Amino acid sequence: MIMKKIYFVSSNRGKIEEVEHHLKKFRIRVIGKVIELQEIDSESQEKVAREKAKYAAKRIGKTVITEDTGVYFKAYKNFPGAHPKFVFRSLGYGGILKLLENKNRKAYFKTTVAYCKPKCKPKTFIGVCKGRITKKVIGKSHPRLPYDSIFIPEGEKRTFSKMSKEEKGRYSHRAKALNKFARWFKKSSS
């Protein structure tokens, strides 16, 4: 069987590795392109992901996928939402955990994967992982995936950072969105 290929554009090498690892199961070869993508200021993750995909497809002149991930705390409306990187850089673990003291710790991750051909309208695929935020940092902190050390998915006792890639893939919001994309991509390109 011939392996399909797709370009995945991100400035985050950790995400590129995760996407490569995950899509290999679907016989999709990922060609990672490390490019700093400009993000529009929007509360809508889908809009952010679509704009990133249009920009990336135009910039490299290839069919691409991009993704945008947000984390949402039940205790706060739409927060951090589509701005998790900014919130983490501003507050760090200490500030985030302080914000959730004596609050509902339920949270969810949402990933939007956007597929785009140059000069075409992007198509999006969404994956959600529900869980909760811990009271302390657990496991090794990855500088590009900091929330993995404070998020425990529903049905688990461990944070994402304490799981192997395969274990995380069973729960992961990114994996769920990538699964939807992969099934569609295989069907639409056959």
Instruction: Report yes or no: 72 and 81 within 8 Å, Cβ to Cβ.
Output: yes
Label the pairing between strands 123-133 and 151-153: antiparallel
State the average pLDDT over residues 170-177: 91
CA atoms lying within 13 Å on the CB side of residue 24: 12
CATH of 4-188, one of 3.90.950.10, 1.10.510.10, 3.40.1280.10, 3.40.1050.10: 3.90.950.10
Residue 122 token pair: 């992007």
Strand partners, 101: none
**Per-residue DSSP letters for 105-124?**
-EEEEEEEEEEE-TTS--EE
Domain boundaries, the chain: 4-188
State the average pLDDT over residues 81-101: 93
- How far is residue 4 from each of residues 50, 126, 166, measured CA to CA in Å? 22, 21, 22
Residues 6+ apart with CB under 8 A from 190: none
Alpha helices in 61-147 (DSSP H): 84-99
> Which of 100-104, 113-117, 145-149 is predicted least confidently?
145-149
The residue assigned the tokens 């919130």 is 87
Q: How confident is the model at residue 43 (pLDDT cuts 50, 70, 90)?
A: confident
Confidence (pTM): 0.88
Instruction: Report yes or no: 163 and 175 within 8 Å, Cβ to Cβ.
Output: no
**pLDDT over 90 (residue 88):** yes
Query: In this structure, which amino acid lies at residue 159?
Result: T
Specify the pLDDT at position 19: 92
Q: How confident is the model at residue 145 (pLDDT cuts 50, 70, 90)?
A: confident
Q: Phi and psi (nearest 5°) for 170? A: -70, -25
Q: How confident is the model at residue 190 (pLDDT cuts 50, 70, 90)?
A: low
State the average pLDDT over residues 178-188: 94
Catalytic positions, written as ranges:
68
